[in-house]
């Protein structure tokens, strides 16, 4: 079974820091060129994506990346295309509702690349101790800049204690532009007998929203609520700054480096909080013995809303599909299955009497004429779970978590009541609900 260790990477000098960034940037360039060649071939009826001259591209970048790293980037791209073809077959067979898209790019130089690389399992070493360190291969061009000989590898310090030990797999290294730091993810294969918390047959369900990013309930009676209000306010402030600088442009169809940086900053902050939420949540679920996680299939639930502020949350800030994709990826590391099921009416169904048409949803409160009152998102996640599994233990006191720009911390008190109701929460009067287009993904900018 696969698990993953996560740690921070600290180049020892400004020069090493710059070389490390160039190494990751070259990886992004190689991915983009490989992907471009294959996408062009994909558009031609008589060409195969596997006919792209990846050998020439490997030779172009190996002096910076090293041959082994260049090969891993191309191999990772091949895996992405195989996954796409597999999903495409399922779509044409009627097993998927949404047509899959070919693998995308890792950004560009003007809009900001996604700085990431992959290192083969036998090409890096990690030593833990008082001065933990990581050694990775780099190309001869970068070795010359650092004064390394041909047989040396780049050695950098790392911080973090490994949770898992076992056979190491391919290492992933990414650059967090918001925190200006490097982070590494080391998947390891662990013998089932050595797991510190063996998976049982417990289950969990998520209700995903904008005011409260995630409400989660487990069959063990655990409930978690991640408050997203502060995150959205920060997101909205950056959006207003973008709009202000756009208004200063002579031609508002154009952009500027400052505006592009703000777009990247806004997206990176949201993604950082989202990724940290997902990993922390999955670790908690693993500790609870959860083997199956249910998430909502929201097709037909999210709708275009007349309120600009609500549209901004559901279409830009929420980024539902990205969250689910990341959730599936991390759950796979921990051996937790993710299943998408319909969550229709869970946010307005009374858990006491089952009434749904006469209930009132006001901000975070769900009230019923039978006398029930409760937190709507927590009620939704519990009702969603009970649809899938009737063996749910009595609920413990919910755990509330808030983001402090670095991590999600527990708070004793629930989050404050929201100012407005979001599009997927407005059920008090069904006749007023808009029936517009469904927003299932992110906007073009994010």
For the beta carbon of residue 254, count every other beta carbon within 10 angstroms.
9
Token output for 22: 């160039």
**pLDDT digit string, tens, across residues 2-33:** 778 888 999 989 999 999 999 999 999 999 99
DSSP structural state of residue 415: P
**Cα-flanking dihedrals φ and ψ of residue 8, to 5°?**
-90, 145
What pLDDT, on the 0 to 100 scale, is given for residue 29?
95
Please write the tens of the pLDDT for every residue from 257-292.
888 888 888 888 888 888 899 999 999 998 889 999
Number of H helices, E strands in the chain: 9, 18
By DSSP bridging, strand 125-127 and strand 2-10 are unpaired
Side-by-side strand order, sheet with 365-367: 360-362, 365-367, 373-375
Residue 101: C-alpha distances to residues 88, 94, 105, 369, 415 (Å): 8, 16, 12, 47, 38
Which pLDDT does position 50 carry in this prediction?
Answer: 92
Do the Cβ atoms of 184 and 173 come closer than 8 Å?
A: yes
- Per-residue pLDDT at 300 exceeds 90: no
Domain definitions of the chain by residue range: 2-194, 202-432
- The span from the CA of 335 to the CA of 3, in Å, is 8
- The answer to whether residue 298 scores a pLDDT higher than 60 is no
Q: What pLDDT score does 187 carry?
A: 87
Going by the DSSP 8-state scheme, the letter that residue 320 receives in this structure is: H
Higher pLDDT, 156 or 165: 156
What's the pLDDT at 110? 66
CA distance 113 to 33: 13
In whole angstroms, how far apart are CA 265 and each of 34, 114, 238, 287, 445? Answer: 27, 13, 8, 33, 12
pLDDT of res. 53 = 92
Range of lowest pLDDT (34-48, 122-136, 181-195, 215-229): 181-195
Mean pLDDT within 421-429: 33
Segment 110-130, tens digit of pLDDT: 667 789 999 999 999 999 888
Q: Would you say 134 and 124 are in contact if contact means Cβ atoms under 8 Å apart? A: yes
Write out the two tokens for 326. 């990341």
Asked if 164 and 188 touch (Cβ cutoff 8 Å), the reply is yes
Average pLDDT, the chain: 81
398 neighbors 382 (Cβ within 8 angstroms): no
Q: Looking at residues 287-302, what average pLDDT do you find?
A: 76
Cα distance between residue 336 and residue 2, in whole Å: 11
In the prediction, which pLDDT does 329 show?
81
Write out the DSSP string of 87-152. HHHHHHTTS-SS----------TTT----EEEE-TTS-EEE-STT-EEEE---HHHHHHHT--TT-
Both tokens of 242, joined, read 């973008």
**Bridge-based pairing state of the strands 167-168 and 181-189:** antiparallel
């Amino acid at each position: 079974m696969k698990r993953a260790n996560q740690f921070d990477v600290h180049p020892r000098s400004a020069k090493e820091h710059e070389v490390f960034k160039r190494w990751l940037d070259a990886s992004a360039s190689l991915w983009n060129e490989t992907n471009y060649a294959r996408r062009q071939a994909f558009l031609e009826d008589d060409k195969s994506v596997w006919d792209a001259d990846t050998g020439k591209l490997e030779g172009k970048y190996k002096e910076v990346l090293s041959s082994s790293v260049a090969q891993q980037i191309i191999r990772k791209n091949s895996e992405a295309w195989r996954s796409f073809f597999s999903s495409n077959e399922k779509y044409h067979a009627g097993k998927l509702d949404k047509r899959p898209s070919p693998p995308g790019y890792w950004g560009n130089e003007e809009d900001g690349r996604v700085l990431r690389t992959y290192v083969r399992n036998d090409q890096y070493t990690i030593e833990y101790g008082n001065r933990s360190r990581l050694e990775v291969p780099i190309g001869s061009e970068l070795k010359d800049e650092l004064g390394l000989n041909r047989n040396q590898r780049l050695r950098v310090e790392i911080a973090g204690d490994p949770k898992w030990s076992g056979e190491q797999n391919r290492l992933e290294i990414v650059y967090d532009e918001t925190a200006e730091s490097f982070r590494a993810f080391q998947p390891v294969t662990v013998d089932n007998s050595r797991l510190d918390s063996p998976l049982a047959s417990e289950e969990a369900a998520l209700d995903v929203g904008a005011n409260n990013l995630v409400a989660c309930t487990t069959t063990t009676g655990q409930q978690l609520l991640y408050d997203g209000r502060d995150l959205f306010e920060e997101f909205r402030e950056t959006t207003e700054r973008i709009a202000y600088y756009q208004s200063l442009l002579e031609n508002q169809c154009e952009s500027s480096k400052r505006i592009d940086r703000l777009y990247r900053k806004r997206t990176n902050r949201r993604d950082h909080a989202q990724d940290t939420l997902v990993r922390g949540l999955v670790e908690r679920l693993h500790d609870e013995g959860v083997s199956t996680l249910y998430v909502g299939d929201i097709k037909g639930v999210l709708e275009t809303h007349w309120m600009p502020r609500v549209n901004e949350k559901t279409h830009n800030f929420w980024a539902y599909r990205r969250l689910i994709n990341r959730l599936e990826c991390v759950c796979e590391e921990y051996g937790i299955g993710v299943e998408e099921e319909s969550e229709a009416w869970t946010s307005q169904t009374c858990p006491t009497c089952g009434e749904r048409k006469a209930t009132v949803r006001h901000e975070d409160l769900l009230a019923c004429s039978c006398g029930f009152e409760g937190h709507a998102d927590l009620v939704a996640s519990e009702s969603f779970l009970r649809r899938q599994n009737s063996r749910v233990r009595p609920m413990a006191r919910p755990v509330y978590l808030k983001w402090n720009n670095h991590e999600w911390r527990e708070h004793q008190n629930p989050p404050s009541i929201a100012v407005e109701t979001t599009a997927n929460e407005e059920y008090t009067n069904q006749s007023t609900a808009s029936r517009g287009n469904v927003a299932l993904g992110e906007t073009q900018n994010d």
